[in-house]
Amino acid sequence: MKALFYTGTMASEIRDAPDPVAKAGEVIVDVTHCGICGSDMHAWHGHDPRRVPPMILGHEAVGIPQSGVHAAKRVAINPLMTCGSCDNCLAGDDHICPNRDLIGMFKPGAYAQKVAIAERNLYLIDDALSFQDAALAEPLAVCVHAVEVARKALRRPISESRCVVLGGGAIGLLTAMVLSDQGCSDLWIAELNAGRRAVLERAVACQAYDPAQAGPPEQSAALVVDAVGSPATRRSSSSLVKPGGTIVHIGLQEAGDGLDTRYFTLQEVTFAGTYCYTRSDFAAALKLLTRGLFSNRDWIELRPLDDGARSFLDIHEGNAPPKIILEMP
């Protein structure tokens, strides 16, 4: 089969690869589309020791299973594999299973014509939903989960809160869409790229701003969502959140400083890390997409797998929309 391999720091290429072999409980899925995720970029930059080249990245995938109960049907792949039997899994918190794994991390991912995945990780796609839109189910599930964490922590409804999202990539934009869907009308997105700011404002009702120039007043946001995860954005979170407010940290760009823990303590600010999603979050994301969460798609670009290496470079150089989805041959 044809696959896009991550071959080293900031390097990738198309290669032939052996077809995957299904283990017990797994099926082979003929992949049709797979989105490029920020975590794939993080690995491509050489910053993720868990992803060792040469390997096939990619986990935001949809396709058609070759066998099993969903054989020949259209499915979205939940790439997060968990044991199903630990205390966390049994409590519905399977995303923090101590034995969790992800395709495209330790086992081959979905920038390929075929991928092996546990059959329980497949979700049927509604006939009304295109493969391209369904490929957003995985990143959207991350955002659904993050907004739910925020909703539980906030002292007022989301509809009555000023919400600031740091980062206008796919996760930041999809989080903003979920917040808007839940009634937020005072919504800001911080994004350095001027071209991307215009795209953001067309995609969702928000004020997209350059954090180097202006933005909402300090200590004015009931909720700050950090969809980048750098020291700079953590400093912004600390300055933007109001007393009694909440910061939800999704981004995994770089560990380190940036948080004003003294301010958090004196002003009772809630800080919450959020990782991935539960199985119910994934199902909820598919329902949102089927219902029509968004109508503007000019922030999504579909490219052939053969353009995968160029796509990684374009994202790195800031010459790409918030989301690129690769289409398999």
pLDDT 10s digits, 60-89: 999 999 999 999 999 999 999 999 899 999
Domain around 72: 2-124+299-327
**pLDDT above 90 (res 14):** yes
The answer to whether residue 45 sits within a structural domain is: yes
Rounded alpha-carbon distances, angstroms, from residue 76 to 41, 141, 270:
22, 12, 34
Segment 107-118 shows an average pLDDT of 97
**Residue 253: what pLDDT?**
80
pLDDT category of residue 234 using cuts at 50, 70 and 90: very high
Please write down the long-range contacts of 100-107, taking CB distance under 8 Å and 24 or more positions apart.
Answer: 100/276, 102/59, 103/58, 103/59, 103/61, 103/77, 103/79, 104/40, 104/51, 104/55, 104/56, 104/57, 104/58, 104/59, 104/79, 105/50, 105/51, 105/59, 106/50
pTM given for the model: 0.95
Whether residue 150 sits in one domain with residue 269: yes
Mean pLDDT taken over the chain = 95
Whether residue 258 sits in one domain with residue 167: yes
Q: Would you say 79 and 103 are in contact if contact means Cβ atoms under 8 Å apart?
A: yes
**pLDDT above 90 (res 214):** no
pLDDT category of residue 255 using cuts at 50, 70 and 90: confident
Beta-bridge partner residues of 247: 224, 271
**Residue 254: what pLDDT?**
79
The answer to whether residue 287 sits within a structural domain is: no
The answer to whether residue 81 sits within a structural domain is: yes
| CATH number for the domain harbouring residue 210 | 3.40.50.720
The answer to whether residue 134 sits within a structural domain is: no
Whether residue 209 sits in one domain with residue 147: yes
Whether residue 153 sits in one domain with residue 43: no
48 vs 42: CA distance, rounded Å:
6
153 vs 140: CA distance, rounded Å:
20
pLDDT category of residue 102 using cuts at 50, 70 and 90: very high
Q: Is the dihedral of CA 140, 242, 231, 106 positive or negative?
A: negative
**pLDDT above 90 (res 295):** no
Whether residue 266 sits in one domain with residue 149: yes
Helix (H, G, I), strand (E, B) or coil at 215: coil
The letter for the amino acid at 248 is V
**pLDDT above 90 (res 110):** yes
The answer to whether residue 131 sits within a structural domain is: no
Whether residue 112 sits in one domain with residue 158: no
239 vs 221: CA distance, rounded Å:
9
Q: Would you say 86 and 35 are in contact if contact means Cβ atoms under 8 Å apart?
A: no
Both tokens assigned to 225: 């969502």
Whether residue 152 sits in one domain with residue 206: yes
**Residue 118: what pLDDT?**
95
pLDDT category of residue 147 using cuts at 50, 70 and 90: very high
The answer to whether residue 317 sits within a structural domain is: yes
**pLDDT above 90 (res 252):** no
| CATH number for the domain harbouring residue 42 | 3.90.180.10
Whether residue 269 sits in one domain with residue 169: yes
Segment 19-40 shows an average pLDDT of 96
Segment 40-67 shows an average pLDDT of 95
Is there a cis peptide before residue 304, judged by omega within 30 degrees of 0?
no
Segment 53-57 shows an average pLDDT of 97
Whether residue 191 sits in one domain with residue 101: no
Total domains in the fold of the chain? 2
pLDDT, one tens digit per residue, over 161-175 is: 999 999 999 999 999
